[in-house]
Amino acid sequence: MTKAKLSLDGKDYEFPVLVGSEDEVGIDFTTLRKTTGAISLDPGYGNTGSCTSTITFINGEKGILQYRGYPIEEVAASASFEEVCFLLIYGHLPSVDELATFHDKLIHHSMIHEAMKDFFQDFPPTAHPMMVLSAMVASLSAYYTRGAVDEDVDLNIIRLLAKVKTIAAFSYKKSIGQPFIYPRNDLSYTKDFLHMMFAVPSEPYLPSDVRDRAHNLLLILHADHEQNCSTSTVRMVGSSQSNLFASVSSGVSALWGPLHGGANQKVIEMLEQIRDDGGDYEKYVRMAKDPDSPFRLMGFGHRVYKNFDPRATILKEAAADVLAELGTTDPLLEIAKNLERIALEDPYFVDRKLYPNVDFYSGILYRAMGIPTEMFTVMFALGRLPGWIAQWKEGREDPKAKISRPRQIYLGATQRPFVPLEERAAKKATKAEEPELVPA
């Protein structure tokens, strides 16, 4: 298969076909407008490949997810988040020395400029931590200005990875009115974040192995997901040659929405609502199916996965294991499992291939780790950071890359003469004096 044919207005056109390394097929429409005068219309981009990439592969029909060719199940079972960051950004698994150097760089760039601490104080107490994160990531470009030119890009990648965990933890401390806790150079990336979240000046905090493993797993499972909404945003902003911090800041904003990463917070709020409502799952499934109700089962459905989301499968098991190891229970886990069971037996969900996604069970784990609900999407952002960086870098290094600039089909008014304000006002005044038309 090398060509695709298109007939338009009685004329035939041929377009090249590109086959990916996992046999996915794309029709190359780069010359479509030039040759036919038409564009392809695909709102929501469900059928549109915006780029070629070598980072992450997903087969939504079969529930497959691979980072640089490695199956997510194998990566999640034995890698550290730092290894995954390296793999995604630099394209290969790090050697022992490479990983040690990478770790060393990360710990030596984890502090933020002292002056940035003052920024946190000026946000109102109502500020959502995702808003704070987005603003602070963009603000990094004020301190590391040379990131717009390539010579500092490598260093800025390290700075961003290292500093976002500090910013995320500081935004939490600010929201609860506690003093900021500085990063520690003797801790792993995951442990350091939890230390900055939960230590206080009078009492250190070191996460148990169970919590640390859960955190590592969550970050890895969120690390990349090819051209999703926030990643496409990062690549799109990067395509105009905006710097790394500005590009990733816009990705944070895109992730915040409830249809994307913000769903993890909404899932827990939904499960709490069901619990407070006496646990009537059927009522919520009915509401989700009702075309007149805007309610959706949060954490269900995915643009790409039409079988199961492999991340959700891993997280469901992990949630049960972690709660058992911690010796606690969470009634929300039972509600989630029951809701999943009922929904998956229902023809509405079966016909539409709606399955639990990564956000459905992640909140249960975050709760077990003591993370407050408002921070869930920040946790997602922390995990997604290496993916955003890798994808931004890939876009910037592509010699064929162009500024992202989609087209549209215009359905508005056709050309008409502009009426100046005075004329419009005069017309209105004359109209007011006209006798009102009385219907016959």
Contacts of residues 97-105 at CB distance under 8 Å and 24 or more positions apart, as own/partner, are 103/188, 103/189, 105/158, 105/162
Candidates 4-12, 23-31, 159-167, 354-362 — which segment interacts with ligand ACO by CB under 6 A?
354-362
Q: In what order do the strands lie in the sheet with 3-8?
A: 3-8, 11-19, 25-27
Site string for ligand ACO, 389-428 (x = CB under 6 A): ----------------------------------------
| Tokens coding 168 | 């995320």
Q: Does 350 bind ligand ACO (CB under 6 A)?
A: no
Q: Does 286 bind ligand ACO (CB under 6 A)?
A: no
Residues of span 126-165 touching ligand ACO by CB under 6 A: none
Q: Does 312 bind ligand ACO (CB under 6 A)?
A: no
- Shortest CB 288 distance to ligand ACO, Å: 4
Q: Does 77 bind ligand ACO (CB under 6 A)?
A: no
User: Would you say 163 or 311 has its CB closer to ligand ACO?
Assistant: 311
User: Would you say 116 or 358 has its CB closer to ligand ACO?
Assistant: 358
Candidates 6-14, 57-65, 292-300, 318-326 — which segment interacts with ligand ACO by CB under 6 A?
292-300
- Catalytic residue among 128, 225, 260, 302, which? 302
- Shortest CB 260 distance to ligand ACO, Å: 4
Do residues 164 and 137 make contact, with C-beta atoms less than 8 angstroms apart? yes
Buried residues in 177-214 as b, exposed as e (16+ CB within 10 A): eeebbbbeeebbbbbbbbbbbbbeeeeeeebeebbbbb
Q: Does 220 bind ligand ACO (CB under 6 A)?
A: no
| Tokens coding 424 | 């419009």
Rounded CA-CA distance 160/244 in Å is 8
User: Would you say 129 or 261 has its CB closer to ligand ACO?
Assistant: 261
Q: Does 306 bind ligand ACO (CB under 6 A)?
A: no
- Shortest CB 298 distance to ligand ACO, Å: 5
Do residues 190 and 81 make contact, with C-beta atoms less than 8 angstroms apart? yes
Q: Does 302 bind ligand ACO (CB under 6 A)?
A: yes
Place of tokens 């006209």: 434
Q: Does 213 bind ligand ACO (CB under 6 A)?
A: no
Candidates 74-82, 144-152, 167-175, 350-358 — which segment interacts with ligand ACO by CB under 6 A?
350-358
Rounded CA-CA distance 277/275 in Å is 5
Rounded CA-CA distance 389/252 in Å is 12
Query: Angle at Cα 332 formed by Cα 331 and Cα 333, nearest 5°?
Result: 90
Rounded CA-CA distance 123/113 in Å is 18
Q: Does 352 bind ligand ACO (CB under 6 A)?
A: yes
Total binding residues toward ligand ACO, as defined by CB under 6 A = 19
Site string for ligand ACO, 20-49 (x = CB under 6 A): ------------------------x-----
User: Would you say 171 or 265 has its CB closer to ligand ACO?
Assistant: 265
Q: Does 55 bind ligand ACO (CB under 6 A)?
A: no
Contacts of residues 152-161 at CB distance under 8 Å and 24 or more positions apart, as own/partner, are 153/244, 153/393, 153/396, 156/243, 156/244, 156/245, 157/89, 157/244, 157/389, 157/393, 158/105, 158/106, 158/109, 159/109, 160/244, 160/245, 160/248, 160/385, 160/389, 161/85, 161/106, 161/385, 161/386, 161/389
Residues of span 368-387 touching ligand ACO by CB under 6 A: none
Residues with Cβ within 8 Å of residue 78, at least 6 apart in sequence: none
Q: Does 284 bind ligand ACO (CB under 6 A)?
A: no
376 three-class SS: helix
User: Would you say 26 or 258 has its CB closer to ligand ACO?
Assistant: 258
| Helix residue ranges per DSSP H, 331-375 | 331-345, 347-351, 358-368
Angle at which helix 263-276 crosses helix 281-289, to 10 degrees, equals 130
359 is catalytic: yes
Q: Does 365 bind ligand ACO (CB under 6 A)?
A: no
The C-alpha R_g of the chain, in whole angstroms, comes to 25
Candidates 84-92, 270-278, 294-302, 403-411 — which segment interacts with ligand ACO by CB under 6 A?
294-302
Out of 192, 212, 224, 359, the residue judged to bind ligand ACO by CB under 6 A: 359
CA distances from 262 to 128, 235, 268, 269 (A): 11, 20, 11, 11
User: Would you say 172 or 300 has its CB closer to ligand ACO?
Assistant: 300
User: Would you say 37 or 347 has its CB closer to ligand ACO?
Assistant: 347
User: Would you say 108 or 352 has its CB closer to ligand ACO?
Assistant: 352
Rounded CA-CA distance 232/341 in Å is 33
**Residues catalogued as catalytic:** 302, 359
- Which residues are at the interface with ligand ACO (CB under 6 A)? 44, 259-261, 263, 288, 296-303, 352, 354, 357-359
